[in-house]
Amino acid sequence: MNAARPYVSFVSYFRNDGYTSDFDLRVRRATSFLVRQLQRAEIDSEIILVEWNPPNDRPLIIESLDPLPQGDCVQVRGIVVGREHHERFIGSQESGMNPAAAANVGLRRAKGRFVSPKASDTYLSNEIIATIARQDLHENALYRCDRCDVVLSPTLLRNLGDDALLARLESLDSTRYSHIPNPPQWYIRELHTNACGDFLLMSRTMWHTVRGFPLDNTVLSLDCDSLIMHAAVALGSHEIRLPPACRIFKGRHDRLFSNRISHVWTPLQSKVDKVMTNFRWWRLQQIARSAFDYPKRKVAGVESVLAPSIERNFVKPAEQWAHGVRPQLNQPENWGLADQPLEERLLCRARWSVANASAAA
């Protein structure tokens, strides 16, 4: 055990804006569940909760968490990011959340030797925790696993204990987001990018090397999780896919981000693309979509932003990196608002932190 630094950090991010009708319950239960999992495994760890652009008329979620035990192996920190940091993004008047920017705030401040973002309402299987508890993770590895979406009612969250809840999650019918092979016309590395933003475990050193998730000037930053995987591998990391029993469970809801994306075509683009499909000119189709940036993408609820095509935004740089071009990182040295005095709250102090503070004194 390293008394000065936790072995692993998990970074979650959220906004108390009624994203789902029971969102605060989802976050509270998933957070306390993770704390107890890490405690049982005796992993020196920390959980960072980033409250992004909190509404003035609602309480902070970090103020409504269940009581957390002090002096154990898990430390929980809350970081509040004010509205002024959100308003600089295009689309900020339509969406109060920027998941990539919020995650970067926590990733930059994480102290763990290994760090992963984690959607705030998800649950990790015990097999993931056991893998981390062995403390034999590789510094240059990028760890991935599948996400399983299930129907999870508020009643289950309120009434079931941890063991019973996890057993129910494992027994429910689920939609599994496993690895999807790349289309053959995409000349990129074969990585497990499907739902990768929910679990992407890398060393703290690698997160700082890639400077967190790549951001654009909008609240969307589409493809940022897939881009970070390909950039990390291009910079020396290698992917390790955890066994099937290592899973993330997420309760379904009607606002899942992937379900809100639609494609925008002009009549000419649609006509030309259909011709190439009919002739099975797949590679030419890929080149055309990348060169002329179509079809654009729109996210429901953020109508002012027309995002680039996946071929231009993701496939093009991933192809270049796969063929030896070094990634050009778009994040500044102060990525994650490192130079900003953000409000931080220590919600639960771990013994490794107490020992470190005593040594410094």
Residue 19 pLDDT class (50, 70, 90 cuts)? confident
Q: What's the confidence (pLDDT) of residue 329?
A: 87
Sheet holding 8-14, edge to edge: 202-203, 114-117, 8-14, 45-52, 74-81, 343-348
Residue labelled with tokens 């063991």: 163
Residue pLDDT, tens place only, 174-194: 999 999 999 999 999 999 999
Backbone angles phi, psi at 122, to 5 degrees: -105, 165
Q: Provide mean pLDDT across the span 212-236.
A: 96
User: Do 141 and 238 contact (CB within 8 A), yes or no?
Assistant: yes
User: Cα(138)–Cα(52) distance, rounded to whole angstroms?
Assistant: 31
Q: What's the confidence (pLDDT) of residue 20?
A: 75
- pLDDT over 90 at 21, yes or no: no
Residues ≥6 apart with Cβ < 8 Å to 237:
140, 141, 142, 202, 206
Strands 45-52 and 8-14: parallel
Residue pLDDT, tens place only, 82-136: 999 999 999 999 999 999 999 999 999 999 999 999 999 999 999 999 999 999 9
- pLDDT over 70 at 359, yes or no: no
User: Cα(317)–Cα(235) distance, rounded to whole angstroms?
Assistant: 13
Strands 74-81 and 343-348: antiparallel
Q: What's the confidence (pLDDT) of residue 150?
A: 96
Q: What's the confidence (pLDDT) of residue 337?
A: 98
Residue pLDDT, tens place only, 153-181: 999 999 999 999 999 999 999 999 999 99
**CA 145, 150, 154, 156 torsion-angle sign:** negative
Q: Where is average pLDDT lowest: 87-101, 247-261, 265-279?
A: 247-261
pTM of the full structure? 0.94
Alpha helices in the chain (DSSP H): 23-40, 99-109, 126-133, 154-159, 162-171, 204-210, 224-234, 267-278, 282-292, 310, 316-322, 351-360
- pLDDT over 90 at 252, yes or no: no
- pLDDT over 80 at 2, yes or no: no
> Which of the pair, 255 or 214, is modelled with greater confidence?
214
Q: What's the confidence (pLDDT) of residue 293?
A: 98
Residue labelled with tokens 């499909």: 277
- Amino acid identity at 201: L
Sorted by where each begins, the domain ranges of the chain are 8-253+328-360, 261-322
Percent of the chain with pLDDT over 70: 96
Residue 360 pLDDT class (50, 70, 90 cuts)? low
Percent of the chain with pLDDT over 90: 87
Residue pLDDT, tens place only, 343-356: 999 999 999 987 66
Q: Provide mean pLDDT across the span 10-24.
A: 89
Question: What average pLDDT does the structure give for the chain?
Answer: 94
Residue pLDDT, tens place only, 49-94: 999 999 999 999 999 888 887 779 999 999 999 999 999 999 999 9
Neighbours of 344 (CB within 10 A): 12
- pLDDT over 50 at 262, yes or no: yes
Which CATH entry fits the domain spanning 8-253+328-360: 2.40.40.20, 1.10.8.60, 3.90.550.10, 3.30.1490.20? 3.90.550.10
Q: What's the confidence (pLDDT) of residue 285?
A: 97
| Separation in Å, CA 219 to CA 153, 224, 238, 301, 351 | 29, 12, 29, 11, 38
